[in-house]
Amino acid sequence: MRKVIETRRTGPEEFVENLETVLDIYTAAMRPPHDQLSGRLAIMRNHASYPGFLCIFALDVETPNAPLIAGFAYGFHGTPGQWWHDVVRRSLQDRAGPRVAEDWFGDALELAEIHVHPNYQSKGVGRRMIHEICAGRHERTAVLSTHDEPTAARHLYRAVGFMDLMTGFVFPGGYENYAIAGARLPLST
Ligand SMILES: CC(C)(COP(=O)(O)OP(=O)(O)OC[C@H]1O[C@@H](n2cnc3c(N)ncnc32)[C@H](O)[C@@H]1OP(=O)(O)O)[C@@H](O)C(=O)NCCC(=O)NCCS
């Protein structure tokens, strides 16, 4: 049966109130090692304090009094001093020069997380949340990182207009390959 999904725009307070559910969806979608979960929770809580923080919840409203959170996406305005922003911007600057780095990261919505519970994947929920989070933003660009593999996420980002800024990118202390992608706002597709 087709699920009835609604999206809701939420700020940092409601996001933090729902952090346990958010982490459950993250865990079901990403299957991270258990010992990484407390660190991930701390990172998400910290992200909620960043400027321009916005979270989109996708809600299964078939039971209107107790809607289930089926997915979430959140982002914020990237600024110097934020770990991801500094690392990725510096690397793009090294590879492509300061003008390119400033163009993509000088006024950017940073899409930090997007996850849909496996029960709700491949039904257009992710696509809807990306459009929703980018709609009405004042930034020039949206930027993100994702595993540099042929995943549903990679397919979806390309489909809504993101292009690769860097591939084969390895974060400090990490070993997996990531792609750094960016799109001009407003999204055109
Ligand atoms: C990535 C994710 C958020 C997408 O949300 P979703 O609701 O499943 O996505 P949508 O239904 O809106 O769109 C998925 C698209 O990917 C395609 N797709 C699905 N599985 C795919 C795969 N393994 N490889 C390539 N494309 C795939 C679908 O066909 C669809 O494309 P289409 O609309 O052109 O047909 C969701 O699948 C998810 O949470 N995955 C696990 C966690 C994750 O990887 N998060 C992103 C981290 S950067």
Q: Domain limits of the chain? A: 5-184
- Is the pLDDT confidence value at 1 over 90? no
The bridge status of strand 108-116 relative to strand 141-147 is parallel
d(CA 101, CA 63): 46
Q: Which two tokens stand for residue 24?
A: 């459950």
Look at 34-38, 61-65, 91-95 and tell me which has the smallest mean pLDDT: 61-65
Give 5-184's CATH code, choosing from 3.40.50.720, 3.40.50.150, 3.40.630.30, 2.60.120.260: 3.40.630.30
- Is the pLDDT confidence value at 19 over 80? yes
Q: Which atom of ligand 1 is nearest to the CA of 115?
A: 39
Mutate to test the pocket of ligand 1, among 57, 116, 129 (most ligand atoms within 8 A of CB): 116
- Is the pLDDT confidence value at 79 over 70? yes
CB 126, CB 116: distance < 8 Å: yes
Q: pLDDT tens digits for 54-77? A: 999 999 998 878 889 999 999 999
